[in-house]
């Protein structure tokens, strides 16, 4: 399999992106798919907890800080990182789900809540999740109802198998 297969789950704010991903992850894991998630946040973020050692190091001048134990690590670095650079942290992943990235060229599942048509480039759409059966999508684009995570997972599994 060409690894990793990358799909963006995109949509407007509060359209259900996080909930969709959260419900897909156990279904994909049950199917044996190792999945990583890279979430784009549209605002400045402070990724560490105030008062921790790494937070203190970072806020008094370190260019970055890492905390690690026997099975996890957390890296905090003040730097712009595109999704390709972040993907390098997940060499074991079969699938990387990007949350957001609706203007990117990645294949997309777009969440349409209370809107009639996708914001994304139609050529990137592999599926749409909509609460409106009359939504306008490119011909041949599968439409899933909100909550049909089994159907979305089945689509992702078919796509994963097709890139073998």
Cα 69 to Cα 59, 62, 66, 99, 151: the distances in Å are 22, 20, 10, 27, 37
pLDDT at position 40 = 84
Residue ranges of domains in the chain: 5-43+82-162
pLDDT at position 157 = 96
Average of pLDDT values for 69-85? 87
Q: 163 CB contacts (<8 Å, ≥6 apart)?
A: 1, 2, 5
pTM of the shown model = 0.88
Structure tokens at 164: 């073998």
* CATH number attached to the domain at 5-43+82-162: 3.40.50.300
Query: If pLDDT is split at 50, 70 and 90, which confidence band does 28 have?
Result: very high
pLDDT at position 1 = 46
Higher pLDDT, 70 or 42: 70
CA distance 117 to 39: 23
pLDDT at position 81 = 84
Task: List the beta bridge partners of residue 143.
Answer: 128
């Amino acid at each position: 399999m060409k690894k990793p297969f990358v799909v963006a789950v995109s949509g407007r704010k509060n359209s259900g992106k996080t909930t969709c991903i959260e419900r897909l992850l156990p279904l994909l894991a049950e199917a044996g798919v190792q999945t990583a998630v890279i979430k784009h946040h549209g605002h400045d973020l402070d990724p560490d907890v105030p008062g921790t050692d790494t937070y203190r190091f970072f806020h008094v001048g370190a260019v970055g800080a890492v905390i690690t134990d026997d099975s996890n690590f957390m890296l905090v670095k003040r730097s712009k990182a595109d999704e390709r650079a972040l993907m390098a942290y997940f060499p074991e992943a079969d699938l990387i789900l990007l949350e957001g990235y609706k203007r990117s060229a990645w294949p997309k599942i777009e969440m349409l809540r209370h809107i009639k048509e996708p914001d994304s480039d139609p050529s990137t759409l592999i599926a749409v999740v909509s609460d409106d059966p009359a939504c306008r999508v490119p011909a041949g684009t599968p439409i899933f109802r909100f909550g049909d995570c089994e159907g979305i997972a089945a689509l992702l599994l078919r796509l994963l198998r097709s890139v073998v």
